[in-house]
Structure 1
Amino acid sequence: MTSPRVPGAGDRFELPCGESVGLSTLDMGMREFDCDCGDTHAVVMDVHPPGRFLPEFLVDVLRETVETTDEADQLGTVHLMGIVLEEFPDAVLAKDVEDDGDIGCGLVWVTDFDSRRLHEIVVELVVELMEHAVSHADDEAAIDAFETEMAEFDVGEFVETYRHQRDFEGEYDSAA
């Protein structure tokens, strides 16, 4: 597990747990860190690809079907974390760090939960989004087929398998 590089360095911001972290302690390879509060917090940056949470084929499907309402051309990590932030406003801190050249990203999110739990939450919320979209289909057979598949879908098992297939322990994860 990655630990912050220089404890207490740089501009600080308050975490959802009440502790604070120095911006310069975060780097693009971090997925989580052990906090002084005793918990492990997930770290996500806008430069992290959505493939961190979802298989590339699913990201491609979502990008083809989900229209974004911001300046982004396609669905990305910013949108996934926006959904998480909307669902868990008190458990996610979003920080604009675009002006901090040490970090290398524009937005950073730190959550009350660790990276594995965040991964599960992202998958759960995407499944809910897909269920909502399918419920508006005019094809009852497609709706029934989707509902049958989702009844058998185990988020925890999916996340465990997906994380096992990718190297989430090293600094750089890669597709399996």
Structure 2
Amino acid sequence: MSEPRVPGSRDASLTLPCGESVDVRRFDMGMREFRCECGEVHAIVMDVHPLGRFVPEFLETILLETIDTASGADFGTLHMLGIVKEEFPQKVVSKDVSNDGQLGCSMLWVSDFDDRRLHEIVVELIIELMEHAVSHADDDAAMSEFEEQMLSFDVAAFVEEYRSQRDFHSASDQPV
């Protein structure tokens, strides 16, 4: 017998990178982390979360204007988390939850990393994208300047400052 097409009627379980299984309906758009039964805290990202969660909006705008995607869609969280998952296939799981109207998103990612470490990884990967783009400019001076600037760039310090300015530690921004 076929299953009726009722939102939320599909399998809502997700096996996390640690091996635990969780009902995705426990997550909501305001969550950044999930305290798991395994004892660890896992980062949660949804496609509705803007890339500005990780980098300033001016950089998000530059990435949107600069990067052409194979799908033709704007570069954003969907693509960035795809890159993270590609780099860390055993540490990130994703689920298409577009048929579940209770969540308010279409894609969900849960990582083995906590939110802070995931934030650092995203920034590191964006720097790699930028370095790749500069290398294709065939401008040795630009490449040298970029490399020189990156030598003094501290990812962990950037993430710390960005998170403190964005107030990622408010009462509503804690692991559940």
TM-score between both structures, scaled by the size of structure 1: 0.89
* One-letter code aligned to 2:28: D
Distance in 2 (CA, whole Å) between partners of 1:159 and 1:16 is: 24
After the TM superposition, which residues 128-139 of structure 1 pair with which residues of structure 2 at under 5 Å, given as runs?
A: 128-139=128-139
Distance in 1 (CA, whole Å) between partners of 2:126 and 2:66 is: 13
Question: What's the CA shift for 1:172?
Answer: 7.2
* One-letter code aligned to 1:29: G
Structure 2 CA distance for partners of 1:24 and 1:171, relative to 1, 3 Å:
farther
Partner of 2:105: 105
Structure 2 CA distance for partners of 1:68 and 1:166, relative to 1, 3 Å:
same
Structure 2 CA distance for partners of 1:119 and 1:96, relative to 1, 3 Å:
same
Structure 2 CA distance for partners of 1:57 and 1:172, relative to 1, 3 Å:
farther
Identity, in percent, stands at: 61
Distance in 1 (CA, whole Å) between partners of 2:104 and 2:172 is: 15
Distance in 1 (CA, whole Å) between partners of 2:99 and 2:136 is: 42
Matched, 1:153 2:153: yes
* One-letter code aligned to 1:15: L
- For these two proteins, the number of residue pairs brought into alignment is 163
Instruction: Answer whether contact 1:124 1:155 (CA < 8 A) is retained.
Output: yes
Distance in 1 (CA, whole Å) between partners of 2:67 and 2:172 is: 28
Question: What's the CA shift for 1:20?
Answer: 1.0
Matched, 1:26 2:27: yes
The 3-state SS of whatever aligns with 2:25 is helix
Question: What's the CA shift for 1:11?
Answer: 2.6
Distance in 2 (CA, whole Å) between partners of 1:140 and 1:118 is: 32
RMSD: 1.5
Partner of 2:4: none
The 3-state SS of whatever aligns with 1:116 is helix
Partner of 1:15: 16
Partner of 1:60: 61
Distance in 2 (CA, whole Å) between partners of 1:68 and 1:171 is: 37
* One-letter code aligned to 2:102: D
Partner of 1:121: 121
Distance in 1 (CA, whole Å) between partners of 2:12 and 2:77 is: 24
Distance in 2 (CA, whole Å) between partners of 1:171 and 1:19 is: 26
Question: What's the CA shift for 1:169?
Answer: 2.3
Distance in 2 (CA, whole Å) between partners of 1:172 and 1:165 is: 16
Question: What's the CA shift for 1:171?
Answer: 7.1
Matched, 1:49 2:22: no
The 3-state SS of whatever aligns with 1:86 is helix
Q: Which runs of 5+ in 1 are unaligned?
A: 1-9
* One-letter code aligned to 2:121: I
Instruction: Answer whether contact 1:29 1:171 (CA < 8 A) is retained.
Output: no
* One-letter code aligned to 1:139: D
* Runs ≥4 residues deviating over 2 A: 169-173
Distance in 2 (CA, whole Å) between partners of 1:22 and 1:171 is: 24
Larger radius of gyration: 2
TM-score between both structures, scaled by the size of structure 2: 0.89
